[in-house]
Amino acid sequence: MRIFSGIQPTGRKHLGNYIGAIRQYVEGQDRGDAVYCIVDLHATTVPYQPAELRSYVLDSAAMLLAAGLDPDRCILFRQSDVHEHPELCWLLCSVTAHGDLNRMHQFKEKSAKQRELISSGLFFYPVLQAADILLYKTDEVPVGDDQRQHVELTRDIAQRFNERFGETFVVPGHRIPELGARIMDLQSPEQKMSTTAPSEAGTVFVLDETEAIRKKFRSAVTDSGSEVVRGPDKPGISNLIDVMAVVRGQAPDQVESEFAASRYGDFKTAVADEVAAYLAPVRERYIDLRADDARLEEILRSGAERARAIASQTLAEVRERMGVGPPP
């Protein structure tokens, strides 16, 4: 089984990124042939600084390695190092409906923030994402819940291509964790945790020091009542229960049972301690890895060579089927 996913090299990674995506990447190494990509081409669709982008790529590589990715057990590379990605994106545009792209939630959300210039790259972002996935004949895409729509579009594009030009692509499926797919902001539990939130008080970063993590959880917004139990009218405490369950590897019911007699304040302290202990080893490994740019670049270069060996074969098939370029 081939597993593929990409991660944005923008800013610092937070607890939601770690639980919803990075944790799945690490587990994927034991379940199949895993390919992971740091998508710097995608990052150019929103305003950015070139020097910062290069730095963020290495930040992301160090974070993934610190979390447990092993270059000997997976392929880890930088998207722009494999030129087959943008070429396949353009070729797939011929079987992508304009109306489908207009309906993408992420385009609507991000374009609303680009007042001076709405990038056409942002509009075609899902097609590039489809190219990323389909180049590797991917069976499974581990993603957070917010990427469900993009994977569904990728499936549609693959099926449309296969119907028009002949069986070429594997039609991939998504893998969304049952628990932890959407970690919410600690201060606004009706909103997903994000690096673009108005305040960092509700966002727990993987690299936060222990005391900073504890402070954020202790000040987390909870709900009316006093019972540590999930419910539609208790988004704050429900979020904390889910976080505790994921970090401990337990079912939410077990967390509720253990803390049934606890006050909110005591429960928040317990969650804070668990999360701080959970992230501390990753933070320590990250600091060591991030100090060696040359090593990180070598890992990405080697990964790109391995990725290109797969991607070039797929692109050659696509070009032949579409009648693009000289005959084979």
Q: Are residues 143 and 251 in the same domain?
A: no
Distance CA 104, CA 249 (A): 33
Which band of pLDDT confidence, cut at 50, 70 and 90, is reported for residue 130?
very high
Residue 185 falls within a domain, yes or no?
Answer: no
Q: Which of 33-42, 118-127, 142-151, 304-313 has the lowest mean pLDDT?
A: 142-151
Question: φ and ψ at 314, to 5 degrees?
Answer: -65, -45
Q: What is the pLDDT, as a whole number, of residue 93?
A: 96
Over 80: is that where the pLDDT of 45 sits?
A: yes
Over 90: is that where the pLDDT of 178 sits?
A: no
Over 70: is that where the pLDDT of 291 sits?
A: yes
Residues 6 or more apart whose Cβ sits within 8 Å of residue 43: 8, 9, 10, 53, 56
Residue 190 falls within a domain, yes or no?
Answer: no
Residue 74 falls within a domain, yes or no?
Answer: yes
Q: Are residues 224 and 149 in the same domain?
A: no
* Neighbour tally for 163: CB within 10 Å: 10
Q: Are residues 34 and 125 in the same domain?
A: yes
Q: Are residues 210 and 61 in the same domain?
A: no
Both tokens of 221, joined, read 């917004």
Stated pTM of the model: 0.91
Q: Are residues 155 and 221 in the same domain?
A: no
Q: Are residues 228 and 111 in the same domain?
A: no
Q: Are residues 206 and 312 in the same domain?
A: no
* Neighbour tally for 150: CB within 10 Å: 20
Residues 6 or more apart whose Cβ sits within 8 Å of residue 162: 168, 169, 171
Q: What is the pLDDT, as a whole number, of residue 119?
A: 80
pLDDT tens-digit map of 75-103: 999 999 999 999 999 999 999 999 899 88
- pLDDT, average across residues 296-323: 98
Closest to 237 (Cα-Cα) out of 250, 252, 215, 248: 252
Which band of pLDDT confidence, cut at 50, 70 and 90, is reported for residue 219?
very high
- Number of domains forming the structure of the chain: 2
Task: Compute, in degrees rounded to 10, the torsion defined by CA atoms 317, 310, 174, 21.
Answer: -150
Q: Are residues 264 and 302 in the same domain?
A: no
Which residues pair with residue 77 across a beta bridge?
37
Residue 155 falls within a domain, yes or no?
Answer: yes
Q: Across the chain, what does the average pLDDT equal? A: 92
Range of the domain at 81: 2-180+293-322
Burial of 56-77, coded b for 16+ CB within 10 Å and e otherwise, reads: bbbbbbbbbbbbbbebeebbbb
Residue 101 falls within a domain, yes or no?
Answer: yes
* Neighbour tally for 192: CB within 10 Å: 17
SS (H, E, C) the chain: CEEEEEECCCCCCEHHHHHHHHHHHHHHCCCCEEEEEECHHHHCCCCCCHHHHHHHHHHHHHHHHHHCCCCCCEEEEEHHHCCHHHHHHHHHHHHCCHHHHHCCHHHHHHHCCCCCCCCHHHHHHHHHHHHHHHCCCCCEEECCHHHHHHHHHHHHHHHHHHHHHCCCCCCCEEECCCCCCCCECCCCCCCECCCCCCCHHHCCECCCCHHHHHHHHHCCCCCCCCCCCCCCCCHHHHHHHHHHHHHHCCCHHHHHHHCCCCCHHHHHHHHHHHHHHHHHHHHHHHHHHHCCHHHHHHHHHHHHHHHHHHHHHHHHHHHHHHCCCCCC
To which residue do tokens 């606890």 refer?
262
Q: Are residues 318 and 257 in the same domain?
A: no
pLDDT tens-digit map of 102-129: 888 777 777 667 677 778 888 899 999 9
* Neighbour tally for 140: CB within 10 Å: 22
Which residues pair with residue 24 across a beta bridge?
none
- pLDDT, average across residues 157-179: 94
Over 70: is that where the pLDDT of 263 sits?
A: yes
Residue 154 falls within a domain, yes or no?
Answer: yes
Over 90: is that where the pLDDT of 273 sits?
A: yes
- pLDDT, average across residues 49-67: 96
Q: What is the pLDDT, as a whole number, of residue 11?
A: 66
Q: What is the pLDDT, as a whole number, of residue 47?
A: 83
Residue 50 falls within a domain, yes or no?
Answer: yes
Over 80: is that where the pLDDT of 37 sits?
A: yes
Which band of pLDDT confidence, cut at 50, 70 and 90, is reported for residue 146?
confident
Residue 191 falls within a domain, yes or no?
Answer: no
